[in-house]
Structure 1
């Protein structure tokens, strides 16, 4: 997620969403003494497609973003293409960024955005439901975490399960922010 930082630091100048806490690049949202576990039986091909950001831990590069979407596709040589879209509350696109991910272990991806001067960042899929409709993503350093869903709305049972996964992996749920969909399409 470091790759987002430079391009979307500019988005940090944007107005926050109502009642949005704005984290710093150095905020840590999980107890790093708690061992974090990625999804051992992760199937990258099932992860491809569109995901809507349901909740996140505050990071400056997403300040003011609503209706956030991530689209993953099959790239060359086994890479996964990444397209992240940040929207305004009215649904208009504020910014996008393209990158790629490489699977570096079970449920573990290294994500790179070539337009940013950072190396690859850890992007660990901690959990998905069996049908890959809901996912929990985090990083060992605890500086990021997301609840993603295939639709802009998430059933309460899967939201509860996702929150439990974050809690199990040492995340401070009091700092988790719900993301308004703002006309996500």
Structure 2
């Protein structure tokens, strides 16, 4: 019965994420993933919308810290103000380096951040899924680029890969990357 109450509490959040019944799928990830080649700046080209993905000019910058963790800095423009948040990424299992975990708070566990495919120089396809007692799950997916815009054939290929892995792309939305004045206005 407590699962029913829990479900009622999270129902208002469902409108933002892609919600599905049952456990998370387990898509294939990038074979022989090389974290060092993945580091650097990536722009969000398309995503499955979420409560934390509002804004425009979204980008992520990944760098290695001295302790071996990954510094993750996400930034975006919200209401004409530049907003940034810093988090930590970890390789959870050295045998599967493309299955990372990312957290933006000391109080939250690491969320899955799986690199399904990347060529390291132009495009990356990333997936995350959070499962609740194998009853239901929330899916997130991102198509990232090293530049603010990707060719349409690259986008079609990325969506097809996600679909082939059983990931719902029907709600994916393009991210506004028209960002001429991004650095002019900042906020704490």
Interval of TM-score (by shorter of Structure 1 and Structure 2): 0.7 to 0.9
Where do 5+ consecutive residues of structure 2 fail to align?
Answer: 1-13, 131-137, 183-188
Partner of residue 121 from structure 2, selected from 109, 122, 132:
132
TM-score (structure 1 length as normaliser): 0.75
Residue equivalent to 1:17: none
Residue-by-residue CA offset, 1:12-31 (whole Å, 9 max, x unaligned): xxxxxxxxxx9435x32798
Whole-angstrom distance in 1 between the partners of 2:109 and 2:52? 16
* Cα distance change on mapping 1:99 and 1:84 into 2, 3 Å: same
Alignment of 1:1-185 (within 5 A): 23-24=15-16, 27-28=18-19, 34-63=25-54, 65-88=55-78, 92-93=81-82, 95-104=83-92, 105-114=96-105, 117-129=107-119, 131-141=120-130, 142-183=138-179
Residue equivalent to 1:15: none
**How far 1:34 sits from its partner (Å)?**
4.7
Higher strand residue share: 2
Higher helix residue share: 1
* Cα distance change on mapping 1:60 and 1:77 into 2, 3 Å: same
- Structure having the higher Rg: 2
Whole-angstrom distance in 2 between the partners of 1:30 and 1:58? 18
Whole-angstrom distance in 1 between the partners of 2:38 and 2:21? 24
Whole-angstrom distance in 2 between the partners of 1:51 and 1:151? 7
Whole-angstrom distance in 2 between the partners of 1:113 and 1:87? 18
Aligned length: 158
Alignment RMSD (CA, Å): 2.4
| 4+ residue segments displaced more than 4 Å | 29-34
Where do 5+ consecutive residues of structure 1 fail to align?
Answer: 1-21
TM-score (structure 2 length as normaliser): 0.74
